[in-house]
Structure 1
Amino acid sequence: MSHTAHIPSHRKPRRSASKLALRAGVAGGVLSTIAVAGATGPAHAAEPVTETIEMPTLTTGLASTAAASAEATQQVAADLQLKAQQNAAASSAAKVAKKAKADADAKAEAEKKAKAEAKAKADAAERASRSSARTTLSASTGGSSSSTTTSSSSATGSAATIVNFALAQVGKAYVSGATGSSAYDCSGLVQAAYRQVGIDLPRVSQDQSATGRQVSLSNLQAGDILYWGGSGSAYHVAIYVGGGKFVGAQNSSTGVVERSMDWDRPSGAVRVL
């Protein structure tokens, strides 16, 4: 008899099968079920063991983050669009303002030019009117012959020399730009008269009217220079010879004449001597 005949067997029943199932789903949460079932053999059946594990919900957090990101992107796009519109509006306003300024400057320049032209025409018309009046008066008084007088002057010294020279030129021709001895223009006659006493005056009326010192028409002395127009911008000059009279080269119609100051009141006078 074997020594092991009555020793009971200690082997465990062999499992005939083993199953493992894992189920997981993600949709509003993740539910996983792990089932483990084991069978020990035909004689000893084991009860299945089931364990449930609940996973955390992820989709809600992801959806919120995506929505916030989309909203932020839309806000940035809206801000950029608004900034672009503001820049375009500012650029357009700047262009309009620049054009308006250019138009205003052009208009002001045109008005300034028109005023200058109008003043020049008015000055020319005034000179023409004076010339016409002098011609008419000369004709009504018998021309230059009636104005040739033998005025005596109380002037002495250099003033007498200037006055006598001017009176000696009465009746000679007026020629624009002439400085003697057979013809003069107004400033040419004054320059020639003062040259007799060694004084070299400027050539034109404008400069002669600003030479020396200004004197009142009520305080004239023989030899003073009379001018018509403004000081420094005179258009005619003559020599005061005393007795309320002057000698001047008036125009091509009258030539050099002696006239009363009441015939054509001068604007002012300067004294050189």
Structure 2
Amino acid sequence: MSHTAHIPSHRKPRRSASKLAVRAGVAGGVLSTLAMAGTASASPSEPVAETTLEMPVLNLDLAAEVSSAVTTAAENTAAAAVTGELHAQEEEARTGAAAEAKKAKEDAEKADAEKKAKEEADRKAAAERATRSSSRTSLQSTSASGALGSGTVTAPATGSAAAIVNFARAQVGKAYVMGGTGPSSFDCSGLVQAAYRQAGISLPRMSQDQSSEGTSVSLSALQPGDILYWGSRGNAYHVAIYVGGGKFVGAQNPSTGIVERSLSYDRPTGAVRVL
């Protein structure tokens, strides 16, 4: 056995760099404290202040923490970009939906207006048919001579009445168009207004107002040029011109156009004389 077997080695073990740095810091702190204490003892007139030095904290994983912070910041930036893009897409979708809703509303309002106009036209046509049917039923119950023919004037029209009658008869066969005032198409009041214009007489445009003109006359005492009306005076829904011989000329409806008919075809409610 060797004589040195139980003698411990005098070589000190190596210490790590971090432990050496810690020991250096501790030693520096102790020396600094002793120096300050010596200074304090050399000056007995001043009280000794106890000073505590904070040891520096060594962060051995600084690189890893910096890398983690950079990664987190990048992820937050990417998330913010995605969020902004989503908000832009949502705003665009809302704007598009609002435009589509506005157009749908306008289309619905237009369709509703067209529907109401058609219903009004159908109502007027139905009223005219009902009036004609009532007139036919009433005429069938009268005598062969008829109440309308007993006192009507059959002599040819002259003067202003002739101008009105001749113009009205010249329009027979033309089209009925609601709101038409000529020359190729008329509605009922448009025809009466245009005919009276030939005699230099200005009439209102609407049938209600035309039925209020002049003076009322009996259907048994009609003269050529008299204005016939259906409905009530001042609230008529249809007008025509009496042309003599128990007949009238009127713009009836879109299916018949402007026609010359016997009073028995569609008995008027009353008549007014403007001439």
Larger fraction in helix: 2
TM-score between both structures, scaled by the size of structure 2: 0.46
Select the structure of larger CA radius of gyration. 1
TM-score, normalization: structure 1? 0.47
Asked which structure has the greater RCO (Cα within 8 Å, sep 6+), the reply is: 2
